[in-house]
Structure formats: C-alpha cells, structure tokens
Amino acid sequence: MTEELTGAEITIRCLQEEGVEYIFGYPGGAVLFIYDELFKQDKVKHILVRHEQAALHAADGYARSSHKVGVALVTSGPGVTNAVTGIATAYMDSIPLVIISGQVPTAAIGQDAFQEVDTVGITRPCVKHNFLVKDITELATTIKKAFFIASSGRPGPVLVDIPKDVTQQKAHFSYPDSIRMRSYNPVINGNTKQIKKAAELILSAKRPMFYSGGGVILDNAAGVLTELVELLDYPCTNTLMGLGGFPATDKHFVGMLGMHGTYEANMSMQYCDVLIAVGARFDDRVIGNPKHFYSEDRKIIHIDIDPSSISKRVKVDIPIVGGVSQVLKELIKLIKASKEKTDAIALKEWWKQINLWRERDCLKYDRSSRVIKPQMVIEKLYAITKGDAFITSDVGQHQMWAAQFYPFDKPRRWINSGGLGTMGFGLPSAMGVQFANPSSTVACITGEASIQMCIQELSTCKQYQLPLKIINLNNRYMGMVRQWQEFFHGNRYSESYMDALPDFVKLAESYGHVGMKIEKPSDIEGALKDALKLKKRLVFLDFITDQTENVFPMVPGGKGLSEMILV
Amino acid sequence: MRHIISLLMENEAGALSRVAGLFSARGYNIESLNVAPTEDPTLSRMTLVTIGSDEVIEQIKKQLNKLIEVVKIIDLTEGDHIERELMLVKVKAIGDGRDEIKRLTDIFRGSIIDVTDKSYTIELTGTSSKLDAFLQSIGQGIILETIRTGASGLGRGDRMLKL
Ligand SMILES: Cc1cc2nc3c(=O)[nH]c(=O)nc-3n(C[C@H](O)[C@H](O)[C@H](O)COP(=O)(O)OP(=O)(O)OC[C@H]3O[C@@H](n4cnc5c(N)ncnc54)[C@H](O)[C@@H]3O)c2cc1C
Ligand SMILES: Cc1ncc(C[n+]2csc(CCOP(=O)(O)OP(=O)(O)O)c2C)c(N)n1
Ligand SMILES: [Mg+2]
C-alpha cells in the first residue's frame, strides 16, 4: 500500500512529479495548508509576486520562453478574481498553464462564505478546462489531467480549484505515469491525402505565400518551417504571435503582416495565388476586412491543430488538421520526392514584384530628429544586444515598434499579449522569462501607461534580484489610443494624456533598482550600453520620446489589407 | 437551417453549463436542449436543436467537440433519423368542446391523461412540427398550460452515437 498524504502534500508531490521548478503565487486563507507544504520542501521554488495578475503573467512568460507548463497558485475569492486577467491573457494566446486555486471548504460552498466565488464559473469561458476537486481520492489524477490537457493539442490554461478541507484530508498517493481520456484525443497527424493535395497545390503556385503564426512557436516548428520555405524559395510572413518562427533576417522574410504589418507583407498576402497558413488563425487584426480579402482570388491551405480555427473567419480550400511540425515534415518529404518542380519563371516575377513593394520602405522614420524617436531606441537595443535578447512588451504603440524594429531570428524570444492585448503584461512576464533563462538578457519594452498597471512587481524583482532591463518609451500619452483619436476622432484626445506621471528614476531607486532618464537621441546608445553592463541590476530606462509619433503602416478598421495608411 | 445535434458527454457536474455557456458566449441559438444519463451511468446524452447557416453549424459542431467533457457528437439531421418530442398540454374542456378536443387528440394519436370537469391534460409525442401543428389546430384560446421536452432523436438503422 502506498503512503497516506494530506491533500496539500499530494498537491506538492504532483508538482514535483511533473518536474515543476517554479510556482508563482500569493498566499491566503484557503491555500494555507498548501503553503505549509511548500515551506517543508525545496524542490518546487515558490516565487512571491505582489498581485495575482502578475503571478499569472510570470507563469505565462516562463511558459512562453521555455516550452514548459507555467504554474500559478492563488487563494480563493479575490485571489482568483485578480488572476482572471492573467488567465484570459494566456487563453487567448494558447499558452499552457496550470493554475491551482484555493476554495472555501466543501461544506461552505454555495453559502456566500468568506472569500467565496464560483471560481469554476468565473473562469470557465477563459480556460481550456477547469476542475473542482471535491473528492481527495481524485486529486492526483485531476492534477495529472490538468498538465496533460494544458500542454497537449492546442495548449491553454487549466485551473484546478481545491477546497480547503480537501487539502487537509488524507488519501493514498500515487501519481499516474500517463493518462488517457476517452473524451480528449487531439489529432497530431494530418490526413495523408490532404497533405498530398497541399503539396501539389504548393508546387503549382505562381504567387505563393507562407503565413505563419503562434502555432509554429507553440509546436517548436521554426526549424522545419524554415527548411520548407528555403527549399521552395517562397516568401514568408509572420503574425505578431508568430515572430521568430521564421528568421526575420532571412531574405525570404517580408516582415509582419496585418494592421501594423509591412507594405510588402500585406500586399503579398492580398495578391498571392496560393496561401499556406501555418498555425495562424486569420485574426481580424491580420486580414482586415474579410470582404476585401475575398475580392482577390487565391487558394488557401490551412494547417492547424484546432479544427475550430479552420474556416472560422476565412473559408479555406485545403484544411489540414494536425500538428505543424508533423505536417510540415510530411510536406517536405513529398516535395523533395516530387517530379514536379516549382515554377521558376513565375516565381522570379513574383519576387520582382515583392522587391518593388519592399522599395516603398514602409518603416522609414525621421532618423535626424532632435527628440528621441521610439523606433531608434529599439533599433539600438537590437544592435547592442546583437538581436539575441528576450524581449517582452506591454500593449500599445511601443509593442508595435518592438515587433517592427527588433527582428527576431529565434522562436520564444518575443513575448507579448496579442490576443487579449493586456496592458500590465510586460514586467511580470519578463520576470517569468528571466527565471526560465537566468543567464540571458531580458528586456521589457513598455510605455508609461502600461508599466503602471503592474509596477508593484519592481518589488518582486528586488526580492529575487532579477536583472531586467525596462525600456520605457515615455510619450506621456496612451499613444495607441491617441493615434486612433488623431486618425478617427478628429484629434479629440479624450482621456488619453498621461498626467501626473511619477519620476520613474526615483521610483526605480526607491525599489532598490537603478533608474536612468534619457532625453537626447545622442544618449540612447550610451545609456543602453551602461544598462547592459549592469549585469546584476534591474535598470529602468525612462526614454522621453516624441509625443506625436505614430505607428505606420496602418490598416484602418474595416479596410482591406492593401488599403494601408503609409508614412 | 434547423439541426438536431446529439452529444455523448461525461456525466459530470458542470458539463451542461459548459455547453450552455458556449452557446451564449458565441451567440449561437438554442431552440431546445435536453439531457439525461444513458444506460452507461458515466455518460449522458444531450440533444440540442439549433438554427444557423452552414458555416455557423460547422463552428458549433467543432466548438462542441472541443469541450473536454464531450466524448462524441452526431448531427442527426445530416442523415436518416427519428425525431420525437413529448408534450403535455392542459386545455379548457367544457361543454361541446370536450368532444372536439377528444377527436383532435385521437387524430394526432395523443392521449388524454388527466381529466377534471373543466380541463383535459393531453399527452402527445411526435416530431416538433407535429406538436406545433396540434397546438395550432386546437387553438390558442383554450390552452391553459403547455410543457415540451424539446426534441430527442436517434439515427435510423446502423447510424448510431456510441463509444
Ligand atoms: C495593439 C495590438 C495590435 C496588433 N496588431 C497586429 C498586427 O498588425 N498583426 C498581427 O499579426 N497581429 C496583431 N495583433 C495580434 C492579434 O490580435 C492576434 O493576437 C494575432 O494576430 C494572432 O496570431 P496567430 O494568428 O498567429 O494566432 P495565435 O493566437 O498564436 O494562435 C495560434 C494558432 O495555431 C494553432 N496551433 C497551436 N498549436 C498548434 C500546433 N501544435 N500545430 C498546429 N497548430 C497549432 C492554434 O489552434 C491557433 O489557431 C495585435 C495585437 C495588439 C494588442
Ligand atoms: C488593461 C487594458 N486597458 C486598456 C487597454 C486599451 N489600450 C490599448 S493601448 C493603450 C495605451 C497604452 O499606452 P502606453 O502604455 O503608454 O503605450 P504607448 O501606446 O504610448 O506606446 C490602451 C489604454 C488595454 N489594451 N489593456
Ligand atoms: Mg505612452
């Protein structure tokens, strides 16, 4: 017979069995027994954040940058409600997380007990799945299922709600090696016939285009995708979530596409005749007005592990349900073995056209400006870090400039909230990235509005000596909001000015960090170099940037991809 | 178009609210929904009637399949199937009306299962449209109460929803 353990012990033992290194959390009444068990062991290291939202973002950054499951622990009631933004953020970007939440004792459920909320109900629409464990004998298998569901198929957050009495009760513990669920069997292998049809269509293309997204990153398929694109000599674009899934400095890369994508990417997307969509979900920020997108004739191949992503917003011709990696490998085999070759003449014409679009130089900006241009800060950061840093970002203009001006050659280096667009994500997610990659440079590109949404985490950074570099592109505006108001609301800057800003240098110092304020373009490089030399310190770089700078190109809402506003 | 979708799902607390939540969150219609355990008590079978364009129905099926507790689904309306709904209807039954109601009930192969001096309660099964037709024939004026289970159904012959 196996030993008898309490629910709290079982919880921690499960995490140990899963090889969990870090758990990000915040204590409270309902999870006190679990915290007590954490205290008694040292395999699973607990990281104390300053707000539950940050626990989720940190676990999320850890997961995105490491391909492991991120784990968070929160108490019942307000612990859970604070965590919801973080859970929804991970859900929208398909990030594998396991969230353990405390619940009031079983007998008190439904009584409006102290710190009771219907956690399963509140989180249901923003998790891949959730469980309420009422029976101690089901605790271990439930946690096993949670890790399995979170990390397989289309990944996502899974929450396990544990009532306090369950953490006290005892049961025999044994952790299953593997788990099978009759109701959950994600398809990994694509249909062979469909893959064959796709290979034929790909080879027959005259104006081909690869469009790849977050699925490539999630499936660790960057290498295979790169091999296929190079083999064919076809152009490739990435979504915001797909950046790094194809090397941005490769000549086949035409930049990010979509609302703030490059001219060449959007034009190629609009005018290609065969589109190969790989782990991307035809988001509204990507294809613009669907009617306009349909106005050009093209055949679409769509590879995605989630059938519900296929033909959801755009009807496709060859759907392939399966894992990106597996399907692309099959495609490479078929294409290499095929007697048909790509249409060299048509391809040459197509590249000629794309290079003409490239000449439009859509990302140009005033490099001789006397005020700091945000784009220049990012370009210099790229040069100084040799493109090898992990970059997290918040949400706004700075996020788009980071995506445009820091070309990522490797996957899992670009960490941002794309689907939910959560301000406050940047700093806590950077903490998680730094835990997963302790010897790497981790920079958080943020804005003065976003950074204030989770600024309390500077305290966590101090406690754990996280040497993050915070690049605050301070334009004294909610720049992205101001830009929309300038373009679409007659310059009425309703509530988008950031007044009464703190002195960020002093603020950083009061948390025990280094602060720098940079006001001249000529000081950018020196400041970045100085900051990066401080290998053990968090440095908050407050760049006072041009207040009126806008993000270009821009596809306005309701417009088509080829109807960009350009500089 | 109207579709009858049957699902087998784990007989677990919360499974129903996941389905209901999915429909409201994504703005799909539910005409009716019923659910009960099957001969295997670990499974329940749900029947859902919904209306939507082909694209919407396609998404509904994919989204339902994606729910972790849903084991298997079948769109009954995609092939040969039998559809039945149960209705109980209480009507005012006085004087000459009593005979008329009895006759109509017979025509529709229903039965009167409760009688008072002022009312009849009629039990009727059939396709949903047959029940609609009955209500129409009997006329709004005399109906006191109705309750319908919503459609249930099975595929004909070899068409089955089984593990
Ligand atoms: C201010 C702001 C501006 C934005 N502007 C842009 C913009 O200009 N351009 C842009 O692209 N985005 C932009 N976005 C982001 C946008 O909202 C979406 O988040 C993003 O476009 C979605 O990327 P994706 O299609 O790669 O999908 P993801 O959300 O990354 O989804 C991944 C897809 O891959 C599938 N998948 C997962 N795992 C696998 C696997 N193993 N095998 C196969 N498939 C798998 C999933 O089922 C899913 O369909 C912006 C966001 C913000 C906040
Ligand atoms: C939590 C949250 N609230 C509101 C928004 C809407 N929003 C998007 S960008 C933005 C402004 C961001 O300002 P800042 O962080 O200064 O970045 P900038 O655009 O100036 O670079 C706002 C308010 C959001 N994305 N997230
Ligand atoms: Mg700003």
Q: Give the per-residue pLDDT at A535.
A: 97
- % of chain A surpassing 90 pLDDT: 99
Q: Give the per-residue pLDDT at A556.
A: 95
Q: Give the per-residue pLDDT at B6.
A: 98
Nearest-atom number in ligand 2 for the CA of A374 is: 21
Q: Report the DSSP pairing between strands A442-447 and A390-393.
A: parallel
Tell me the two tokens of residue A33. Answer: 């027994």
A160 — pLDDT class (breaks 50, 70, 90) = very high
Residue A447 Cβ inside 6 Å of ligand 2? The answer reads yes
Residue A554 DSSP class = B
Question: Are A125 and B10 inside 8 Å of each other by CB?
Answer: no
Average pLDDT over residues B116-134: 97
Tell me: the pLDDT tens digits for A186-240? 999 999 999 999 999 999 999 999 999 999 999 999 999 999 999 999 999 999 9
For every residue of A214-238, DSSP letters joined together read HHHHHTT-HHHHHHHHHHHT--EEE
Residue A558, pLDDT > 70, answer yes
Residue A374 Cβ inside 6 Å of ligand 2? The answer reads no
The Cα A25–Cα A44 span in angstroms is 12
Nearest Cα residue in chain B from A150: B68
Query: Looking at the partner chain, which of A132, A183, A308 has a beta carbon nearest the beta carbon of B68?
Result: A183
pTM exceeds 0.90: yes
Average pLDDT over residues A34-47: 98
**Higher local confidence (pLDDT), A498 or B126:** B126
Q: Give the per-residue pLDDT at A1.
A: 60
Question: Are B70 and A183 inside 8 Å of each other by CB?
Answer: yes
Residue A3, pLDDT > 90, answer no
Residue A370, pLDDT > 80, answer yes
Residue A395 Cβ inside 6 Å of ligand 2? The answer reads yes
Tell me the CA–centroid distance for residue A499 and ligand 3, in Å. Answer: 11
Q: Give the per-residue pLDDT at A382.
A: 98
The Cα A220–Cα A538 span in angstroms is 30
Query: Looking at the partner chain, which of B17, B59, B71 has a beta carbon nearest the beta carbon of A308?
Result: B59
Average pLDDT over residues A154-175: 98
Partners of A181 on chain B (C-beta within 8 Å) are 68
B window 98-157, beta carbon within 8 A of A:
none
- % of chain B surpassing 90 pLDDT: 98
Question: Are B71 and A183 inside 8 Å of each other by CB?
Answer: yes
Tell me: the pLDDT tens digits for A400-446? 999 999 999 999 999 999 999 999 999 999 999 999 999 999 999 99
Q: Kindly report the nearest CA distance between residue B127 and chain A, in angstroms.
A: 30
Q: How many helices (H) and strands (E) does chain B have?
A: 4, 9
E strands present in A334-449: 390-393, 414-415, 442-447
A326 — pLDDT class (breaks 50, 70, 90) = very high
> At A21, is the secondary structure helix, strand, or coil?
coil
The Cα A109–Cα A313 span in angstroms is 41
Tell me: the pLDDT tens digits for A52-79? 999 999 999 999 999 999 999 999 999 9
**Higher local confidence (pLDDT), A326 or B140:** A326
- Average pLDDT of chain A, as a whole number: 97
Residue A540, pLDDT > 70, answer yes
B13 HSE (CA, 13 A, CB side): 6
The Cα A404–Cα B51 span in angstroms is 44
Omega prior to A553 cis, within 30 of 0: yes
Average pLDDT over residues B58-67: 97
Tell me the two tokens of residue A57. Answer: 């973002």
